[in-house]
Amino acid sequence: MRNLSLVALALGVILGVTAACAPAPTPTPVPPPPTAVPKPTEAPKPTEAPKPTAVPPTTAPTAVPPTAAPKKIGGELLLYSCTLSGEPWQKLVDMTKEKLGVDLKCLDMGTGEMTSRVTAEKGNPQNDVNFGSDSSAHRSMQLQGLLESYKGSGWQLLPANLKDPDGYWFGLYMGVIGFAYHPDRLKKLGVEPPTSWQDLLSPKLKGEVVIAAPSASGTAYTVLYALISMYGEDKAFQYWKDFDKNVAYYSKSGSEPAEKVGLGEYAVGIAFTHDIQTRVDKGMPVKITHPKEGTGWEIGAMSITKGAKHMEAAKAFIDLALTPEAQSLHPLTAHRLPVVAGVKVPPGNYTLDDVKIVNMDRDKMGTDKTRLTKKWDDEIGAKR
């Protein structure tokens, strides 16, 4: 992989600010393709995305004066959506136990399951912290009265555009959408590596593309909202209906497409670039491109469930997760970009300056999530 130097993470947002994975469900068998492949509708010409300014300008993060070591709280803490796995997860578990005396547990799941569980458990919460998924999912839960407000030391470390102003969600990491492709499989199909959204409509890719469902995955919802931001809602949905002809199946996990391509089962997968890079680290024969028209990006976030049974521990964990020590777990092991200052990002990580990003209205992305994912289910998902 090429070495890439780290640049200012949030496009001038914070000086020095520089840089998730459920077991793959068994896909539903894809029905045999029709004998005649209809010619795909040409993707509408997108409006020109601005130079990387997706994150609104703001001041550098506020420096928080040194404080005494956190007190040992004890007990346990249950997270929904684990974000980290393997060695980095174990390091976070050990760090939480050492500094807070808290036993950290997690049920890993996609965005759709996380929000569904928290909604169903309203008034009798079973978890304490929602740890991961795009900030739009947390914003949606906030609007439903499912989250607890907290403005501690971690909140103070974040710049204004990477947190909720009232303390209902907190930025955790950042990432960009990329295309994972299998060189040998594409060569056999006679297809060049995709470098645009238009390329994904090629009839030669019928049944060869994997992506998650927007209603189940924050990754795929980020793709949907990026398309809407470029083309407008009507044209974006028409594009996806044409694109749907090439989709082998829709996964529940946003990172699964990268895994399937790495295994050589499909030619192209759409996922966050950091999830593709972890497959490259494993030695899988997968490579990465980004759409030249512009790509979607996320603020991976975390939040406290309203009425959490271990509220003191939940608040202390939020502050711990935003320390440089905990933040370093993201770029060093998962290729995600950190959201606080003082964290080094090693060479080989893609940053926001390496791709053309779409100007996305993050607040509207959250408030429109329920309506847009239902529309996708009704018009596309239900017809599979």
What HEC string does 117-185 produce? HHHHCCCCCCCCEEEEEEHHHHHHHHHCCCEECCCCHHHHHCCHHHECCCCCCEEEEEEEEEEEECHHH
Give pLDDT tens digits for 143-154.
Answer: 999 999 999 999
Q: Is the pLDDT of residue 60 over 60?
A: no
Cβ proximity of 183 and 287 under 8 Å: yes
Strands 297-305 and 76-80: unpaired
pLDDT given for residue 28 in this prediction: 37
**Average pLDDT in the chain:** 84
Report percent pLDDT > 90 for the chain: 72
Angle of the 111-120 helix axis to the 218-231 helix axis, nearest 10: 110
Whole-prediction pTM value?
0.73
d(CA 221, CA 154): 27
The CB density around residue 73, as the number of other CB atoms within 10 Å, is: 18
> Could you report the per-residue pLDDT of 76-109, keeping only the tens digit for each?
999 999 988 888 899 999 999 999 999 999 999 9
**12 close to 354: Cβ distance less than 8 angstroms:** no
- CA–CA separation, 244 vs 32, rounded Å? 14
Q: How confident is the model at residue 70 (pLDDT cuts 50, 70, 90)?
A: low
Q: Which DSSP helix (H) or strand (E) runs through 223?
A: helix 218-231
Burial bucket for residue 31 (CB in 10 Å: 0-12, 13-18, 19+): exposed
| pLDDT at residue 120 in the model | 98
| Model pLDDT for residues 331-360, shown as the tens digit of each residue | 877 899 899 988 888 887 887 778 999 999
Average pLDDT of the residues in 205-217: 97
Residue 33 in this model has a pLDDT that exceeds 50: no
CB 272 within 8 A of CB 253: no
Residues 6+ apart with CB under 8 A from 251: 24, 25, 27, 210, 211, 212, 213, 216, 217, 257, 260
- Neighbouring-strand partners of residue 214: none
pLDDT at 86: 84
Alpha-carbon distance of 169 to 253, in angstroms, equals 22
Residue 65, C-beta contacts closer than 8 angstroms, at least 6 positions apart: none
Contact status, residue 337 vs residue 331, Cβ threshold 8 Å: yes
Tokens 């939040």 belong to which residue?
A: 303
Q: How far apart are CA 289 and CA 274, in angstroms?
A: 12
**Other CB atoms within 10 Å distance of the CB of residue 38:** 10
Residue type, 239: Y
pLDDT at 347 (0 to 100): 81
Q: Where are the domains of the chain?
A: 76-174+299-351, 175-297+364-383
Mean pLDDT of 301-321: 98
What's the chain's Rg over C-alpha atoms? 20
Determine the topology of domain 175-297+364-383 in CATH: D-Maltodextrin-Binding Protein; domain 2 (3.40.190)
Can 76-174+299-351 and 175-297+364-383 be said to share one CATH topology? yes
d(CA 166, CA 148): 10
Model confidence at 12, pLDDT cuts 50, 70, 90, reads very low
Classify 288 as helix, strand or coil.
strand
Separation between Cα atoms, residue 33 and residue 341, nearest integer Å: 50
Of 204, 147, 192, the residue nearest 170 (C-alpha): 147
DSSP-derived pairing of the beta strands 129-134 and 297-305 = antiparallel
At residue 309, the pLDDT reads: 97
H or E element, residue 350 = none
The residue written with tokens 């928290």 in the block is: 118
> Which of residues 70 and 54 earns the better pLDDT score?
70
Mean pLDDT across 39-51 = 40
CATH number of 76-174+299-351: 3.40.190.10
Asked if residues 205 and 191 have their Cβ atoms less than 8 Å apart, the reply is: yes
To 10 degrees, the CA torsion angle through 106, 111, 116, 119? Answer: 80
Phi, psi of 78 (to 5 degrees): -110, 125
Amino acid at residue number 49: A
Q: What average pLDDT does this structure show over 248-258?
A: 96
